[in-house]
Chains A and B, each alone.
Chain A
Amino acid sequence: MSDMRTPMSRVRGLGSAKSGSGHFIAQRATAVALVPLSLFLFALLVALTGADWQTAHDALTNPVVGVLLLMFIGVGVVHMRLGMQVVIEDYVTSHGTRLLALLANTFFSILVGLTCAYAVLKIGFGS
């Protein structure tokens, strides 16, 4: 038996989904952190422009450089996942496709984040 209520009347009175503020705050908090971290990335990349493997590798074995890079990657991945989530929710209207896109977004973010972190840690711990 189909529901005679309108979509609006079904959601009225339920309140918010309860996670919107958390998303908003996390987006801003990561954005604030990414300003100095991005400046650090630019400084590192400029300093390593044209550098050979040994020089670049040595630079990343420095713990300060390594930890800052890990922070850029970790915070960046969280920020980009939140941002892409909003883009998906704005444009993908079909329920199933949206679910898949949101899932893919999370998987991609974790994959890229862990891949970068693995490489930085491998360099940092040396071999």
Chain B
Amino acid sequence: MADTQQAARPLSPHLQIYRRTLTMMLSIIHRITGVGLYAGTLFLAAWLIALASGPAAYGVFMELAGSLIGRFIMFGYTWALIHHMLGGLRHFVWDTGRGFNLTVVELMAWAHVLGSAGLTVFVWWLGYKMLGVM
């Protein structure tokens, strides 16, 4: 009796086979930022718990958040959220059945990359303005 379940079936080629394109990298980054934001909710939870616990706990949290590593995490979270959000907006356009023209796809991809970088810097510029640094 032939074991049909073990039949060697051809597999579709995986990622490393294809030429890297911007849209493909953005698709991968969309997923990575999503997973990053998933973990990042712990940072948001820590902030809210510290705030609810009182001035002492909040002081400790702000100390950690204000450190170099803390700022790096928050900057990463800012960029990840903005990037994931803009990626979502691109998907909304595609969900309506529009924007599949290759020129439009490339344009949206570049707007996505530059837009997320620009908006992240803008948000942090506003934050530093609040601190009176800028």
Query: Which positions in A face B, CB cutoff 8 Å?
Result: 4-7, 28, 31-32, 34-35, 38, 41-42, 45-47, 49-50, 52-54, 56-57, 60, 69, 73, 76-77, 80, 83-84, 87, 112, 115-116, 118-120, 122-123
Q: Per-position contact with A for B1-19: 1 when CB-CB < 8 Å, else 0?
A: 1001100000000000000
Give Cα A104–Cα B41 distance, bound, in whole angstroms. Answer: 15
Whether B51 contacts A57 by the Cβ 8 Å rule is yes
The B interface, classified by DSSP as helix, strand, loop or mixed, is helix
Query: For the side of the interface on B, what is the size category?
Result: 35 or more
Taking A42-B123, A49-B128 as given, write out 10 further A-B residue pairs in contact, using a Cβ cutoff of 8 Å, ordered by the A residue number: A6-B5, A38-B81, A38-B85, A42-B78, A46-B127, A54-B55, A80-B38, A87-B34, A112-B45, A123-B48
> Which residues on the B side are within 8 Å of A112 (C-beta)?
41-42, 45
Establish whether residues A53 and B48, one from each chain, have CB atoms under 8 Å apart when the complex forms. Answer: no
Q: How far, in angstroms, from A56 to B4 measured CA to CA in the complex?
A: 64
Question: CB within 8 Å of A: which residues of B?
Answer: 1, 4-5, 31, 34-35, 37-38, 41-42, 44-45, 48-49, 51-52, 54-55, 58-59, 78, 81, 85, 88-89, 91-92, 95, 123, 126-128, 130-132
Interchain CB contact under 8 A, A80 and B92? no
- Whether A87 lies near B48 (C-beta < 8 A) is no
Total of A-B residue pairs, C-beta within 8 Å? 87
Q: Which residues from B are CB-within-8-Å of A54? A: 55
- A122 and B45 contact, CB distance less than 8 A: no
